[in-house]
Each structure stands twice: as structure tokens, then as C-alpha cells.
Amino acid sequence: MYTSLFIWLAAALIFVVLEIFTPGFIFACFVVGSAAAGVTSLLTESYLIQGAVFGVVSLVLIPLTRRFAARITKPAPVASNMDALIGKTAVVKNEVSSTGGQIVVDDQVWQARSETTIAVGGKARILSVEGAKVIVEKM
């Protein structure tokens, strides 16, 4: 009788360890399901009933924990301001070289530098932002 209880408690312990190393509260549902099946093992020796309790409790908790996880987790930050410029395509306003130049991106004029010279009207991709200047490469 207690053998089933120890098996379910061992399963719950394994699920706790898995939950610690994975995000999303999925294994937490299985921890509670294993504990419920362990309590059920004290009431009945039927492995079928114990397995059914484990399955039903775990499956009922999954959608509930998904909502809880969505509420407590924060979305990834959206690139804004200068970080949002990285990867965008710009048009060269004044020739850009290693000493400087100007580009236009999103109707804004920016000071720019590039390892290669980019002629007026050329296209450039923004690689990074250093202070008030953007580093670009020729497209």
C-alpha cells in the first residue's frame, strides 16, 4: 500500500526538479497530480484509479497555470529609441566615411561613420549606435 505512495512521491520530486530547470509551470501541474495520486494510493490500491487521478488533476491544472504564468511573466522588451535603429536601412545624405557623414532614416538625419566610403544617395545598413553617431555598412 505504501509502495504506491512512495512511487508517487518520487515522481513528484522528479517533477519538482524538472520544474526548477524549465520555465512555464508545466511540471508544477504534474507535481500536484503526483501528490493527488499519492493521496489516492492511500485510499485505493487500484493503479488505474491512481493514474486517472494523476491525469485528470494534471490536465485540469495546465490551462490554469498557463493563465497564471502569462500574468506573472513580462514580455521581452521592445527595442526603442536608438536601439530600434539597428538593422534598418538608411539613405546617405552626405558622403559617409571613417571620418563621418550623414544618413537619413525614418525621416531623421543622423551623424554616421563607416569603414568604407558610401556615396550620396547610397544605401546603408545601421550596425550599431555609438553615442550620437550610428555605425553603418554599405549595402
C-alpha 8, offset from chain centre: 32
Of the candidates 108, 81, 98, 84, the one whose C-alpha atom is nearest the C-alpha of residue 135 is 98
Angle at 119 between CA 126 and CA 93, to 5 degrees: 65
Q: What is the CATH number of domain 81-138?
A: 2.40.50.140
Q: Which residue is listed with cell 538608411? A: 90
Full-model pTM: 0.53
Regions in the chain scoring below 70 on pLDDT? 1, 79-80
Q: For residue range 70-87, what is the model confidence (pLDDT) as tens digits?
A: 777 777 777 667 778 899
Q: Which residue spans of the chain are classified as CATH 2.40.50.140?
A: 81-138
Positions of E strands within 54-122: 89-97, 100-105, 108-113
Residue-wise burial string across 63-99, b where 16 or more C-beta atoms lie within 10 A, e elsewhere: eebeeeeeeeeeeeeeeeeeeebeeeebebbebbeee
Q: What mean pLDDT, rounded, does the chain reach?
A: 90
Is beta strand 108-113 parallel, antiparallel or unpaired with respect to 133-138? parallel
pLDDT score for 79: 67
pLDDT score for 59: 94
